[in-house]
Amino acid sequence: MALAYIGLGSNLADPQAQIIAALKQLALLEHCLISDVSSLYFSRPMGPQDQPDYMNAVVAIETSLSPIELLEQLQSIENKAGRIRKDNRWGARILDLDILLYDQQMINTERLTVPHYGLKLREFVLLPLAEIAKELTLPDGDSVKILAQQIEKNGLKVHSKLR
């Protein structure tokens, strides 16, 4: 079984309910077992600021799915939630599920980049990840704990515990 970390985000259609529903869908996936879930966090949107704030969380799952199979399952959950993929990369969305890490693998294909390209730069990813895996070392040797201590918080706030 591989250990994968998934970032969850939403800023439309009751974001907290969207993230809770996504967690329930993740728990139902065959060949996947949720092993930990961060708190919910409020974060400012990246890009255009004329959209609602986001809610974010990170979940750790043990899985026997390949990275691409996991990506396909995550995209299916997004689609069922009503996600519409647009060219606007930083726009509002009902649900966003990203593979942040998949064991210590480094993957760079047209469909998937792991570790996630924004992992070290986004407080709304790094701080929830550090909450559940602060002793984790990234494939490049960087410490999640140290990265989390150094990153600017940008108004990120813990909203509530999910566990």
- What value does the mean pLDDT take over residues 135-143? 98
- What value does the mean pLDDT take over residues 88-94? 73
Question: Does 36 participate in catalysis according to the annotation?
Answer: no
The residues spanned by each domain of the chain are 2-160
pLDDT for residue 89 is more than 70: no
Q: Which of 44, 50, 83, 87 is catalytic?
A: 83
pLDDT tens per residue across span 57-71: 999 999 999 999 999
Q: Which of 87, 93, 111, 122 is catalytic?
A: 93
Give the pLDDT of residue 45: 87
Could you give the 3-state DSSP secondary structure of residue 3? strand
Give 52's DSSP letter. Answer: P
Assigned token pair, 8: 């969850």
**Residue 88 binned pLDDT confidence (cut-offs 50, 70, 90):** low
Q: Which of 44, 85, 89, 96 is catalytic?
A: 96
Q: Of all helices (H) and strands (E), which one includes residue 77? A: helix 67-81
Give the pLDDT of residue 85: 66
Does domain 2-160 fall into CATH 3.40.600.10? no
Question: Does 111 participate in catalysis according to the annotation?
Answer: no
**Interacting residues of 36 by C-beta distance below 8 A, sequence separation 6+:** 59, 60, 132, 133, 163
Question: Does 98 participate in catalysis according to the annotation?
Answer: yes
Give the pLDDT of residue 47: 72
Question: Does 93 participate in catalysis according to the annotation?
Answer: yes
How far is the C-alpha of 47 from the C-alpha of 44, rounded, in Å?
Answer: 9
Q: Which of 87, 98, 122, 163 is catalytic?
A: 98
- What value does the mean pLDDT take over residues 25-51? 92
